[in-house]
Each structure stands twice: as structure tokens, then as C-alpha cells.
Structure 1
Amino acid sequence: MNTRLPYLLPPNPTLGLCAPSGFLTEPGALEMAILYFSEHGWNVREGTHIRNRHEYFAGTDTERLEDFHELIRDPKVDAIMAARGGYGLTRLLPHLDYDAIATARKPIIGFSDVTALHLAVLAKTGLVTFAGPMAAPDFGHPHRSALHQDHFLPLLQNETHSSPLIRLPFTIHEGAAGLRLRHQIGNGLEGILWGGNLSLVAHLVGTPYLPQVEEGILFLEEVNEEPYIIERCLMQLYHAGVFNSVRAILWGQFNRCEPTHASAAPYTLEQVVDYLQHLVPIPLLQNLPFGHVRDKLTLPVGGRVRITLPDPAHYQLHFSQYGVTGALQKKSVTEQRGSDSP
């Protein structure tokens, strides 16, 4: 994969906000997010239709597409963040201007339904985007995560960055399973980071919007799905051969993913993980702080990541070469197109 790097954010950047999926459901959350960014020296530009509602969506498909393209093409906008997730981005994938996205090389930030955008952009352009917090549910929350300040901003503005230490689950770092995991990771394991919401990753199998990543580090998260449905999505990836080119799996937060009273028999998420570990003989590291939770890392989709085990109970992610220095912004469009990462 010929990865294209986005620009590092300059001081006092301008953030473009759009709602490419569901309509805004939390009154005042967007205003709180805008206030947060303004207080931290950011300028904010709202998409024209960000506050619209059409059926389930934040405006019609045309309106949501127009907002995204306006922010991509506006030279004053340095980065683009989704206001929220929901559903609707897969409708837009065939109509995105991938050439404009590749030329602009702006950080695109979001998670959940935005997984479809991250993976499509990586497949079509090779551009690194960012799975991370969104405006309304994260920056518009009255109890914001400390990771926003400690991890989100440094990742987008520094050339290299490491995640906070991530605790391995108790059942993994002890006993035979822990020994096997430490042997698999060794002195460090490196690859291309990609993934996102499990349902979206599975739904893109067989489409031109699923990137072909060799030596990948696959990260996954999910919300509000029964464990057997999660396993079904994993089996879709397995049968499609996706795991054949994956070096490790980072297992994020699968919150509210419990068997319900409607299940014929209780089948737990722990059983799903156990089956996956026996099915796919690669390291599976749990407890990644990412998903539909308050505390989430920001992850460069398509960027290189190195996994290390600094001690028997923790792992850490090290990011580098995910962004182009601001000096490159002064080059011509022709020069920019020829400045891909190694």
C-alpha cells in the first residue's frame, strides 16, 4: 500500500465540522464542542447543513455530501471532524471526490459510522485518516476525557507519539496465555494500523471500499450487538481471508454487547474472544481504550504502529511518520502529489 500522509496541524488550526451520518440528537452538545475548541485556540467552521434533519440523517445525501466536499476544498480548513456517527456514510461512498481528498491531505477524524469513510479513503487514495473522538459525543460532553488533551492533540501536531500505557487483562498477562502473548510480541511488533467498528469493517468485505492491507494491525470495537452477531461478523472476515494478512488484533471496547433474554442460550463475549484466539493464531491484545466510550485513543488509520510490552502487565502503541510537516503545505499541488510517504 502506497500510503499518503496528511498534514500535521499548524498552531491555531481551523477545524471543519460536518455531520455525514445521523442527525444531531443532543441539544447543546455541538455548542459545547465549539466552545472547547475556541478556548484551546482553534477556529471552527460548521458545514452548511450540519444542523439539518432528513429522516434518520443530518440532511439529505446531497446536503451531507456537499458539506463534506466544501470543507475538503476550503483551503482555510485544516482538519475535518464528524459531529457524530449513527448511520448514513455508506450511502455517500460512491459519490465522494477521492481525488480532492487525496490532494487536500487534511486529517479526517471520527469513529463509529465514520469507519466506512476511513476505510474507503484508505482503499481509494492511501491517505491516512484518524479514528478518534467526535464533536458532539466527546468534545461536547460535560465530562470530557483527559485523553483529548493528552493524546488527541499531540498525535495530530507531533511527528512521533506514543499512547499511554494500556493494561493487559488479568487472564492474559498471567499463566500460559501470558507467556504465549509475550513470545508472540517479542521485542516489538510493527504493522499498518487499520480497522474500526466491526460491523462496518465486515459490511465492506467484497466492496471496493475495503483496503487491502498487508502486515496489518487490526483494531476493532462494537456497541449494542449480541455476542453471536459479533462472532458472525468475525467469521465473515475469517472466511474472506482478511485475517491472513493481519499480524495482531487490538480488541477495543465492546460495550453493551451482552446476550439478551431473546437468545436461545447465553453465549458471552468472553466465549467469542476465546474462539477467535483459537481460530486465528496471532496476538490478540484486549482493553484498547477505543470505541463507544468516554476514554478513547486517537488512531491513525493506515499509519504505521509499533506494539511493545514494557512490562508483563502493559502494552503500548508507538506512532510515527503519520503526518507531513507543515513546511510541505507551501509547495505546489503538483509537488504535493509527488510527496507520498516511504
Structure 2
Amino acid sequence: MRASKSLLRPGDTIGVFAPASPVQRPMLEAGVALLESRGFKVRPASAIYGRHRYLAGTDDERAGAMNEMLRDPEVRVLWAARGGYGCGRIVERLDLDLLGDRFMVGCSDLTALSLALRRRGAPFIHGAMVASEPPPQRAGLDLALALLSGKRGPGSPIADQPLRVIANPPQSPVEGVLEGGCLSILAAAAGTPNALRAAGALCVIEDTGERPYRIDRMLLQLRRSGCLDGVKALIFGEMPGCAQPNDTSYSLDDLLRDCLGDLGVPILAGLPAGHVENAPHAPVPLGFRATLTGGRLVLAEPVVEAPR
């Protein structure tokens, strides 16, 4: 992956859009205030507080607002307000080729957009969103800004916390392109043109509030559809709320080992990416090379051009 040319500098404009579920005004205002306090201009999408049933506006309204932002050359980064549900409904209506050398940032339901971008060979930052609720996730905005501003480059760990090994401990460093996203969206995309392609990848998988039997089913879907063929390592997130309540006879690690251990590749967990509870959201630059070494994911190439 060639380094992006979208180095973010103070004074640049960040566009904030709502492609999925409705946005809560206090949460968005808090995130916008943080970005502005760091020296950036923030331009919310038109009708960002719209509502249509369980969505932030009709499909036409959400897609139209996002396409306006994609056509705006002053917007240097397109940053999602929140996820929820709805990106998959509009992905085919978006002029994603207009993103050019700019980044899009988001997670959760935004995986539907990241998969579409990765199919085009474009990168995506799987990172904290502007209307994130808990303060630790707001701290993730600063981590994403550091990545976009060139302050974290080759040799920088994606997260400071060491990962725990679930199966097949790596005997030497493993390098590959970062791929992945939210498990439920990855599974839903299996069999579609935008399906995950994990061959040669360090694949990051995370989610929240999914019961073990559902995780089992979704991982089986990814395996049987060929999405995980040729994967070099699997790195799971914190997976909050995914343990079986009132049953301590097995752990989520046991389930992941049972479902995936026979792939013979390193399987680790504990990356604070995507849905997290007690740690800042670590941004994962999908489409860029990283190395799994010493229990950590470390960037192996620059994500943006070096500051001048």
C-alpha cells in the first residue's frame, strides 16, 4: 500500500456524516468540540440530525448528504458520527471513487463502507466515531488524529496493551495487510461483491453484544464462504457483552479456539478496537501493512506522508 497523501494538518476541514442510525445532538456536539479544540474545522453533513424510523434520514437523504461531502474538495477527512444500522442500504448509491487520497474514519456499521472501499483498493481507518458516548472512546478521537497527522508511523504499536494468545502462538513475527471490521457486518457481506478478502492479511475482528452461538454461526459463515482463506493471523477485539451470561463452563476464548484453532494461524484477542468499554479506541488502518510481534500489532509502513 502506497502511503496516503491525505496528511491532516490543523486548519484542515473534517467532514462529519451520519450514514446509519440517528445521531444524539449532545454526543455529536461533544465530539465536534474536541476536534475543534485540536485546531480543525468541522463541517457537519446536511440534515445530520435527520430521522426516519430507525435511520438518520431516508436512504436518499443520507446518501445525498454523503455524496455532497465526497464532492467537496475542502473536506480532507470524512469522519462518521456514529454507526448503528443503515450503511449497507446506501453503499451502492455512494460515489466512493471521489474519496481520492482522503481517508474515511468509522467503525461498527461503517464496516459496510470499509469493505466497499477495500474492494476498490482504498484504505479505511477503523476508528472511534465523532458522536462516541463514553469518554474513553472520545479519547480514541485523539489517537485517530495522531495517526492521520503522521504522529504515529512505522514501528508504532496500534495499541499499547499486549494481546493475549488464544491459539497457535506465533513463533516469529507475522507481517500482513490489515483487514477486517465488525463481525456481524463481515458475516452479512459474505457472498456479496464486497465480501471480506483476508488472504495474506492480519485480520482484525470485533463486535459487541453478540451471544456465543451467534458468534459461532458468523465465524462459520466466514469460513464456509472462503472469506478467511489464506489469512495469516486473526486478532479479535475486546468483544464486550459477548460472553454467555450465567454460564462459566466455557469462555469466549474457548469458543474462538474451537471455531478457528484448526486454521493453524495465530489467534489473539484483546485489541481495544471497534466496540470497546474501558480503553481508548485504537485506530486500525485497514489496507496498510502491520507486524504481529511480541504480542502487539505494530505498523510496518507509513499511513500518511511524512510531515514537511
Q: How far did 1:105 drift?
A: 2.3
Change (3 A) 1:204 1:143: closer
Shift of 1:248: 0.3
Shift of 1:145: 5.3
- Change in 2 beyond 3 A, CA 1:59/1:304: same
Matched, 1:181 2:177: no
Identify the residue that residue 23 of structure 1 maps to in structure 2. Answer: 22
* Contact 1:22–1:87 (Cα < 8 Å) also in 2: yes
Q: What CA distance in whole angstroms lies between the structure 2 residues aligned with 1:201 and 1:279?
A: 21
CA distance in 2, matches of 1:201, 1:144: 22
1:332 maps to which residue? none
Q: Are positions 1:306 and 2:299 aligned together?
A: no
Matched with 2:175 is: 190
SS at match of 2:210: coil
Calculate the TM-score normalised by the size of structure 2.
Answer: 0.90
2:130·2:141 contact (CA, 8 Å) conserved in 1?
Answer: no
Tell me, yes or no, if structure 1 residue 282 matches structure 2 residue 265. Answer: yes
After TM superposition, the structure 1 stretch with the greater mean CA deviation from structure 2, 8-17 or 36-45, is 8-17
2:123 maps to 1:131? no
Contact 1:166 1:316 in 2 (8 A): no
Where do 4+ consecutive residues of structure 1 move more than 6 Å?
none
Specify the SS of the correspondent of 2:218. helix
The unaligned stretches of length 5 or more in structure 2 are: none
SS in 1 for 2:271: coil
Task: Check if 1:226 corresponds to 2:191.
Answer: no
1:219-261 deviation line (CA, Å, top 9, x unaligned): 0011111101001100111111222221001111211113257
How far did residue 9 of structure 1 move?
1.4
- Amino acid corresponding to residue 17 of structure 1 in structure 2: V
Amino acid corresponding to residue 22 of structure 2 in structure 1: F
Indicate how the Cα distance of structure 1 residues 142 and 197 shifts in structure 2: closer, same or farther if over 3 A, else same. closer
What is the match of residue 77 of structure 1? 75
Residue 302 of structure 2: aligned partner: 321
- Is 1:6–1:107's contact at 8 Å kept on the other side of the alignment? no
Q: Which amino acid aligns with 2:108?
A: S
Q: 1:226 to 1:64 in 2, by over 3 A?
A: same
Deviation at 1:53, TM superposition (A): 0.4
Q: Is the 8 A contact 2:9 2:149 kept in 1?
A: yes
- SS at 1:52 equivalent: coil
Name the Cα RMSD after superposition.
Answer: 2.5
Answer yes or no: is 1:120 the counterpart of 2:105: no
Cα offsets for 1:86-132 (capped at 9, x unmatched)? 0000001221213323xx32110000000110011111x21111100
Counterpart in the other structure of 2:153: 160
Tell me the CA shift for residue 325 of structure 1: 6.0
Deviations 1:304-324 (A, max 9, x none): 112221xxxx42322423335
Aligned to 1:239: 224
- Give, in whole Å, the separation in 2 of the partners of 1:182 and 1:220: 18
SS at match of 1:192: strand
Query: Residue 87 of structure 1 aligns to a residue in which SS?
Result: coil
Helix, strand or coil at the partner of 1:200 = helix
1:50 offset after TM fit, Å?
A: 0.7
Q: What is aligned with 2:9?
A: 10
Decide whether the 8 Å contact of 1:202 with 1:234 is kept in 2.
Answer: yes
Tell me if the contact between 2:197 and 2:228 (Cα under 8 Å) persists in the aligned partners. Answer: no
Equivalent-residue separation in structure 1 for 2:137 and 2:183 (angstroms): 25
Check the 8 A contact 2:132/2:138 in 1, yes or no.
no
Of 282, 292, 301 in structure 2, the residue corresponding to residue 297 of structure 1 is: 282
CA shift, 1:27, in A, is 4.2
Query: After superposition, what is the alpha-carbon deviation per residue over 1:159-216, rounded to whole angstroms, capped at 9, x for unaligned?
Result: 72412433233xx49xxx6xx5141xx1x21111111100101111111112534311
> Which position in structure 1 is the counterpart of 2:255?
272
Quote the offset at 1:10 in angstroms: 2.7
Q: Which letter does structure 1 place at the counterpart of 2:274? A: G
Q: What is the rounded CA distance, in whole Å, between the counterparts of 2:63 and 2:2 in structure 1?
A: 25
Cα offset for 1:36?
Answer: 0.9
Q: Which moved more, 1:285-294 or 1:230-239?
A: 285-294
Match of 1:203 among 188, 192, 196: 188
Alignment CA distance shift 1:237-1:129 (3 Å): same
Q: Distance in 1 between matches of 2:276 and 2:129?
A: 12
* Unaligned residue ranges in structure 1 (runs of 5+): 328-342
Question: TM-score with structure 1 length normalisation?
Answer: 0.81
Q: Would you say how many aligned residue pairs link Structure 1 and Structure 2? A: 303
